[in-house]
Amino acid sequence: MVALAKPIMPDMLITTHLEMTSRAAFRPAYVNGTHFSINRMKTPDVSFYRFLYGAVGEQWRWRDRLLLSEEELYNVIADSSVSVDVLYVHGVPAGYVELARQGTDTEIAYFGLRPAFFGMGYGKHLLSHGIAHAWSDGARRVWVHTCNLDGPHALDNYTKRGFSVFHVEKKPMPMRYQ
């Protein structure tokens, strides 16, 4: 087995903030099939959430939720303004989308797939599901941020679904991502 080279860490963290301020801007893209489903995590389960967060975010160096204690993380995912919808493919958890309502705004706080499920259209499907849920829940603005540590297709997926860039921030790479 050949070991893959570790990606080179960029010197700068470039964070792109995107928003959708009209439901009319939403361009959903769904995958057809009966072999997958999306289910809401109705009971806050810190262990399962940590599994999802790690399985989806490890390769992108997601760290923020790993820094929270079990009680802090429970309080986040148990908050009535937060929803976590899990994509299952053939009964296996494949990814998730986490929404956080903030007044009339809804943030896509976390979104992603496990690597085994890349390239099959599930990302655009799950993102479309999350956006549709935000709009049907009364959002007047849906927003998200992505960065140069996220998947190479993240920004493209967001813009194809109808998001527009409203701010780009550049700063030295924080130590927690190195």
Rounded mean pLDDT of 164-175? 92
Q: Is the pLDDT of residue 4 over 50?
A: no
| CA atoms 46, 19, 25, 119: torsion sign | negative
Q: What domains does the chain contain, in order, with CATH numbers? A: 12-177 (3.40.630.30)
Cβ contact 14:145 at 8 Å: no
Model pTM greater than 0.95? no
Q: Is the pLDDT of residue 35 over 90?
A: yes
Question: According to the model, what pLDDT value does residue 10 have?
Answer: 80
Q: Measured between alpha carbons, how far is 166 from 176 in angstroms, rounded to an integer?
A: 26
